[in-house]
Amino acid sequence: MNYTTAIFLINKNVIAIEALYEEGGKMETFKTFNDFDTTINVGDILVVESGTRHKMTTVKVTKVDAQVDLDGPAQVKWVIAKVDKDSFEKNILQPEASAIEKIKSAEMRAKRQALADALLMDKDELKALPLAAVNGDRPQKES
C-alpha cells in the first residue's frame, strides 16, 4: 500500500488535485481537505510540498477532485496554500505600477523644466533657430 494515499481511505473530506509544474511540464497529484480548500479551481496556482530546498514549490491546477491510484508508487504530497494572485495584483502590482508611472511623469517634467530653465539663459539666440520653441514661443521667420 502507498501510505501517502491512506488518508483518502480514512477521511472522505480529502480530495485529490491534479496540477502541473511549469518547468518540465510534469503532472502530479496532490491532496487537500475539501472543506478547507473549497475555492481551489482549475487554473489556480498552489503552493505544495516538494523536494526542493525549502520543501515547497508552486504548481498550476489542471483538475479538482481527481481520481487517486491508491496502490500506485507516486508519493501524494499536500497542498500548503492557494496563491491569492488577484489580491497581490490589486494591492501590490497595480499600485506599484501606478506609482512608477507617476514617478516617470514627474521625472520627465523635472528634466523638461531643467532644460527649459537652462535654455532661457540663451533665449534670444535660440529664438533665431528655425526649430526652436522655448516656453511655447514660435520661432521668428526671417524676412
- Convert the pLDDT of each residue in 81-110 to its tens digit: 999 888 888 888 888 888 999 999 999 999
Question: What is the residue type of 83?
Answer: V
User: Percentage of residues in the chain with pLDDT exceeding 70?
Assistant: 84
pLDDT in the model for residue 120: 76
Task: With CA atoms as reference, report the closest residue to 80 among 114, 21, 33.
Answer: 33
Please tell me the pTM assigned to this model.
Answer: 0.63
Q: What is the pLDDT of residues 40-89, one digit of tens each?
A: 999 999 999 998 889 999 999 999 989 999 999 999 999 999 998 888 88
Torsion angle, alpha carbons of 111, 114, 117, 121, to 10: -110
State the chain's mean pLDDT as an integer: 84
Q: Which three cell numbers stand for residue 114?
A: 531643467
The torsion angles phi and psi of 96, rounded to 5 degrees, stand at -65, -45
